[in-house]
Amino acid sequence: MIKKRNAINKVIGRPFKRHSKIGQAPGTVIYLGKRKDEKFEVTFTHFSPEEYTEISMERPEAFVPAPGNNGVNWFNIKGLSNTQEVDAFGRSFGLIPLTLEDIVNTDQRPKLDYFDDYLFVVLKMIYLDDTNNINVEHVALVLLRKSVLLFQEVEKDVFEGVRERLRGSFGRIRSRLADYLLFALLDAIVDQYFIVMEHVGNRVEALEEKVYNHPKSDTVYEIQALKKEVLELRKNIRPVKELINQLINLDHPLISEDTRPFYRDILDHCNEIQDTIDLYREMSMSLMEIYMSNMSNKMNEVMKVLTIMASIFIPLTFIAGIYGMNFRYMPELEYTYGYPIVIGVMVLMVILMLIYFRKKNWL
């Protein structure tokens, strides 16, 4: 059965990724993504109102324990394909195997899990690369009492603004607890959704104008690609609203009351993004109908012209056929002006038919 599924997915160009997890025990840490050559690296950041420390390391055994009782620790772990290092690092913080399994499961739907000692959040980091292509990366966050663990697939991310605020002590972030750092990271991810939605909106408008004014045979493939992209974005973004709503309503000691209003701000953004992406979904689906309608109208225009031309030539062909018969005795054959009169009658018939078609708005 697995071989058959792999053959089918090979034909349609989509590899069957989950076959490696079939038969494995729950909690088995198996990476399902495509970023298998990424280097494992941990960036440790400790901050408080008075101090800021940032250290990079490549090995779990080089882990720097959280200094002192003050401040917040941010561990940014990159390279999820290194499952052994991720497993060892997560276990050092007391994460259960099921959480570690979801950390490296790049197909995991955005969700929130909560335990006595930590909160676990999974969602997608969506951003535009240098060529304006949309990238979707798997991100997992763990909120502890004084620390936030951020697991991501690749080095590139959307958190540079948060780092700059920490380094420069801008705003309130250095004076807040770990739950506010979690908010700042989630807010950075959701803010990128707006940029991606703006990019998709520009594509929808450009394609809509193309469908109306200059539809071509390959336009249908562009519409299908856009529709597939919008549906993929909707699948990854829509559950984030539910996730943030759960965080707001969750009665857990790791979420302080003075931080909840900030999560409500993210929820407002999620509502706006959801409305936008639902609109683009409807527009992308209607583009195909518009395209088919325009192509049908163009075909009808062509058929109308051909029909008019056929209607004009039918009586002319009838007259030419009459006088093309090989009978010896025909009244008009010996008439001196017979030929120009017949040609004149034909021209007059064409003129009268064109006038008639024009009055009927067929031309």
List the chain domain ranges: 1-25, 31-293, 300-359
Cα–Cα dist 208/282, whole Å: 12
Is pLDDT of 24 > 70?
no
CA proximity to 265, closest of 199, 151, 180, 167: 180
Superfamily of domain 300-359: Magnesium transport protein CorA, transmembrane region (1.20.58.340)
Handedness of CA 226, 231, 232, 234 (dihedral sign): positive
Determine the pLDDT at residue 65. 52
Q: What fold, for 31-293?
A: Beta Polymerase; domain 2 (3.30.460)
Q: What is the mean pLDDT of the chain?
A: 83
Q: What is the CA radius of gyration of the chain?
A: 34
What CA–CA distance (Å, rounded) separates 260 from 229?
33
CB atoms within 10 A of CB 233: 22
> What b/e readout covers 295-321, taking b as 16+ CB neighbours within 10 angstroms?
beeeeeeeeeeeeeeeebeeeeeeeee
Residues 134 and 196: beta-carbon distance below 8 Å: yes
DSSP secondary structure code for residue 174 in this structure? G
Handedness of CA 235, 237, 238, 239 (dihedral sign): positive
Question: Which of 28-42, 150-164, 183-197, 203-217 has the highest mean predicted lDDT (pLDDT)?
Answer: 183-197
225-260 pLDDT per residue, tens: 888 999 999 999 999 999 999 999 999 999 999 999
Determine the straight-line distance between the first and last CA of the chain, rounded to whole angstroms: 62
The structure's pTM equals 0.77
- Checking if the pLDDT of 12 tops 50, the result is no
